[in-house]
Amino acid sequence: MYRLLIFLSLLLLAGCGGGETSNNSSLRTSYFIDAPVKGLNYECGDIKGVTDEKGAFSCSQTPITFKIGSLEIGKLDTFTSDNNVFPQDLIKVPREDINNEKVVALAQFLQSLDDDGDVATHINITDEIHSKLTQKRDFSTISASESSQIIILVGKNPISTVDAQKHLISNLEKYANYVKEDNINNENINTNPTDIIPSSDILKSVSTLDNDNDEIVDIEDTDDDNDNILDNNDVKPFDSTISVVQTYSTQISAREQTFIRKDTPDINYNNKLYLQLRSILGNFTKLGLIYFDIPTSINTQTIDKITSSTLSFNSNSEEDMISIYASNSLTPDASNATWNNTAQYLPFSQDGTQAPTLEKSYGKIDTTVGENHVTLTQQLQTGKSVFILDEEGNTQGELLKNSSNIPKLDIQYSVKSDSKVTVTKVADSFSSEFGDELHYKISLTSAPSSNVFLPIALTDSSSADIIGDKLLIFTPENWNQEQTITVRGKSDNLIVGNRINELVFNPLHSLDTHFNGLNPDNVEFTNYALRFNTIYSALTPATSGTAYRYTIEASNFDNTKIEYSLKNKPIGMSINENTGVITWQPDISQVGSYTFEVIAQTTQSNSISKKLSIEVLTGNANPSGIYVVPNYYKNGNGTAQNPYNSIQTALSYAQAGDTIYVRGGRYFTQTLIDGVNGASNNPITITTLQGERVKIGFKDTAFDIANNSSHLTFDGLELDGYAKNDHWEVLQKYWWNSDYFTDPSDNGVNGGNQGFDVDGNHIVIKNNIIHDTNQKAVNIYEGRYVTVQGNVVYNIGHASLGGGHGIMRKWERNFGDNDPDDTNLYRFDIYGNLVFGVEQRIYSRVFDKPYSNLTIDEGKPISVDETQDNFMKARIAQNLVIYGGIDQIKLKRNPNLEVYNNSVYPDLTRIDPIPDGITDVNQYIPNLKFYNNAVVSNGVAIDIDGSFTDNDGNEIIDTLRKYDNYIIGSVAGNMTHGITRVSNGTIFKDPANFDFSIVGALPQSIGVTQEHLEHLKALVREYGIEVKPSGWLHEHLKNTEYIVNNIPTDRFTNPQIGDSTIDIGHKAIFYDIAPNWIAQFGYDREKSLSEANDNKSAGAYGGTSVYQLVVPQVWLDVHQNEYTTIAQARRGKAGAGKLKSY
């Protein structure tokens, strides 16, 4: 037992022990009477003082406030005519009203606090009493019973109210000529105060009880029955024969069972004598459902907790593992169960819209022929329960049911005992590190025959404090009056995140044996590091057909990032995880009331949630179109009231000119678009409602657009690949992973690969947010007339093991001059995008190529591969390309390419490699137009000499194709025309604060125009995107050492160092390739040689049996002397040049 704290904490009070003087000649002296009261603190204006032995106090103005410690006992608003102040004057009732409860209570309070108990001639309030009343309270708000409790807690005994009233009347007679003693109303006065508050004798007798006679009184004993179980953990702390909760057992038979099938969702299988199972992950999902009724009471005893449970059933064969799940809300019963009306009750993902994933397992078992038993790992609840059985291996299994082996449930349970104490948490109160207060209301469940003392404490005082009394006293009269416990949170200064704490109720102490020794259950609570700022349970109403916004704001004491989410939300509602903005545009079919939950969290252990409600008022219907809620539990007909449950389904019904509205929310889905065609000037559009936001997560490709699809527009979507990988873990697990050699698509790296993979024609991708993919945001290969406009692309390629780029026109793609482009259209148009944070952190490794470059040669924000076609045009313009790892915009041969008004600002902190600006890989780009670009780089800002240099190395001056480019950095070759170097100052106003406007001293026609900048800024604000350099630092020495030291020596032999033919200017380790490479790992040497012959020069790789590992200089500085150096690498021709990027 925790030592009881009877007294309140000490507090030094200003003003105790004497009054302040004043030279004001208008001071007026009055007297506080209930007998003269000495020792009251008083305040009037600037004057503070203490009443003397006559009760005298001097003030020049009113109001005058009287206090004992921090307890305000009353306030005098005007001076009295006779200069005497009685309790009635503070209560503001006539002095004749001697029956007023507040008057009597104040008189009893003052008289009970007297220092020696003799109040006949005066009342003396000592400094000790002042020091014990530290809580700021107003006596007018305190009940009579609480007043008596305070008297006890400061070490005094409350006198009877009759005696207090008689004493008050005698002083009224003496000081105010009052003679009406017969006005006492004895019916309203309790003449036996010991029935309400214990006398000192009763308090003494309780505090000296010693149940186990160990000479430690119970009130201080931590083990009151000497059974080596601490009182707080002892179910019967005064009975050594009982220390743990007794449990009971029973067996329950299944009420009924059935199974449901996704492939035949409307058929009822309740008449079957067995359950048929097949994995939910397969095409023919079959889930078994077993129904139990778990009673709330057995043999008149109410079940408190089910402590353990075992499910038993029979199987007709050995099957793969069976997973068991449970639900208390699954309806209807077996007789009506079908997939459609059951699937909605299966455990869904957090936002309630993803396909059933059955995340919370209650147990697993490999079934055998005959009886099977599985101990359930989750605690069951009483009431109707349904067990859901899923066969994981996707081979059909059967669990039998007949008259002799109906499934059974064996449970062990404890029963409820009457704790005699009711604890109720006050709604919306909580404890936090910000000092928020959690409140509990405490009362007894029945009247005691004697006073009951309940000591309280906290398990952890470092994160919260109990404010006020730590001992609750219940009397035969006030037993059902709720008393409040207040817990105030505080910073623990040690642990990041929420802290679990516990309000400890120690055993009750009472002369009533029915209460004495009862041990109420402790109450666990959380001291939150998070708190919601001003937030209401009922949000402002929404109106159908109208965009709705509401901002949820939370504060985090630990200053880490907060992410927001919703649970059980209505269709279409979503919350931005970064900004906390709730967006919605309810349809007219959604008019009504909704309740949902908002969650703010930093980590899984640091979160806070709140239930909210919202009313939707009648307005307009949402616009006509095809509606989709991906992964919704049922598939409808595409209306707003009954949406499709996949984008692919919606596209299969869409016609030219249709708009597909994806309702707001977060979804995990990917869509193959095959044979879907709009028409010229009449595309099929996939978008959101104006007032809603959609976020789509994916594993491979969010939208894979086949070459037989055309005239499609994707507008206003957010695509999140969730590619959050640890660089070092990926390097160790997958760089030399032989499994990856045989199936490069299954690399085990977390997250999606590509947002859009475009092989279709006339495709528009605009105003989207695409981020955190392993490979690319937008990948264009066979696609023709593809527009990528006004998008925000970020955090791409970080964990790619191949070529990760932001927006890419991938690989050489030739349509042939016999199939020229429409001269009015761009083959690809990359226009007005923000691309940042694109960088490859893993060295590129494509094992059907006979080399790997460990100097980081991939990860370009915008990269376009070549074509041999001549009759085409393309555009890269108005793009803000910032904070990339290497070349920001990489150009290759695309005739009639227009590159203009791009603003480029790489991560200037990078040193290996140093990021370049806009480069053309020394390729000639026919009729390249290059103007109004603004580029900053610590390396080469512009490298386009391949397109503006003649065969003799002289610069080609063409004022119509190259002009007004401004740079900070160097220029490749001898180019000077059309490129102005800014040697002093800067180009952009304030990059650190995302202001890439052009400084006033430079032409305002260069760089991204203000119109496009504002569009991109608006998207960044709307989605709460933080635009800044990543701060990533390549650990080239550590990484290269790992790769070189772990190279499979049975496949790569005879390492020697020479000049790289892959990356001119770097060194490489050349290895011989073992003959078993093809047999074991499918290394396509013929393809590699053919590729080398087609693109560069024969023998560039040293034939078909040489592997080249390009290494960074920092590794060479340490390890070069460990290898044989060859002056001429094993290759056919030196200086073959760079290969195309992947």
Domain 248-415, CATH? 2.60.120.1200
- In eight-state DSSP terms, residue 847 is T
- In eight-state DSSP terms, residue 282 is S
| Under-50 pLDDT residues of the chain | 1-24, 180-205, 347-359, 738, 740-748, 1078-1104, 1129-1142
Domain ranges within the chain, ordered by starting residue: 28-197, 248-415, 421-528, 536-617, 698-1023, 1036-1125
- Please give the pLDDT value at position 202: 41
132-179 residue pLDDT tens: 888 788 898 887 767 877 887 787 888 887 888 889 988 888 888 765
Q: CA 48 to CA 17: how far, in whole Å?
A: 11
Question: How would you classify the pairing of strands 754-758 and 979-981?
Answer: unpaired
838-892 residue pLDDT tens: 998 888 776 667 778 888 778 899 999 999 999 999 999 999 999 998 899 999 9
Q: CA 160 to CA 147: how far, in whole Å?
A: 12
671-680 residue pLDDT tens: 999 999 999 9
Question: How would you classify the pairing of strands 684-687 and 710-715?
Answer: parallel
- Please give the pLDDT value at position 1142: 22
- In eight-state DSSP terms, residue 851 is E
Q: CA 966 to CA 981: how far, in whole Å?
A: 6
Q: Is 836:794 a contact under the CB 8 Å cutoff?
A: yes
With 0-12 CB in 10 A as exposed, 13-18 as middle and 19+ as buried, what is 61? middle
Q: Is 716:768 a contact under the CB 8 Å cutoff?
A: yes
Largest CA distance in the chain: 128
The residue with tokens 């709705």 is: 548
- Please give the pLDDT value at position 646: 93
Q: CA 780 to CA 770: how far, in whole Å?
A: 15
Q: Is 602:558 a contact under the CB 8 Å cutoff?
A: yes
Q: CA 539 to CA 664: how far, in whole Å?
A: 18
- Please give the pLDDT value at position 158: 84
Number of H helices and E strands in the chain, helices first, is 15, 78
Q: CA 425 to CA 434: how far, in whole Å?
A: 19
744 preceded by a cis bond (ω within 30 of 0): no
Question: How would you classify the pairing of strands 41-44 and 851-853?
Answer: unpaired
User: pTM for the whole thing?
Assistant: 0.68
Domain 536-617, CATH? 2.60.40.60
Q: CA 903 to CA 935: how far, in whole Å?
A: 6
Q: What residues are paired with 466 via a beta bridge?
A: 487
Segment 1046-1049 long-range contacts (CB within 8 Å, at least 24 positions apart): 1046/735, 1046/736, 1047/736, 1047/1071, 1047/1109, 1048/736, 1048/738
Q: CA 1060 to CA 77: how far, in whole Å?
A: 96
- Please give the pLDDT value at position 418: 67
**Token pair of 472 as six digits:** 């609750």
Buried (b) or exposed (e) across 136-162, using 16+ Cβ within 10 A?
Answer: ebebeebebbbbbbbbbbbebbbbbbb
Q: CA 898 to CA 894: how far, in whole Å?
A: 10
CB neighbour list of residue 493: distance below 8 Å, 6 or more residues apart:
none
Domain covering 421-528, topology: Immunoglobulin-like (2.60.40)
Q: CA 182 to CA 55: how far, in whole Å?
A: 27
- Please give the pLDDT value at position 536: 73
Q: Do domains 421-528 and 536-617 have the same CATH topology?
A: yes
Q: Is 388:353 a contact under the CB 8 Å cutoff?
A: no
Report the half-sphere exposure of 349 (CA within 13 A, side-chain side): 15
Instruction: List Cα–Cα distances, 605 to 22, 601, 608, in angstroms.
Output: 59, 8, 9
Q: CA 109 to CA 134: how far, in whole Å?
A: 16
With 0-12 CB in 10 A as exposed, 13-18 as middle and 19+ as buried, what is 186? exposed
Helix (H) or strand (E) segment spanning residue 440: strand 437-444
The residue with tokens 């499910």 is: 311
With 0-12 CB in 10 A as exposed, 13-18 as middle and 19+ as buried, what is 80? middle
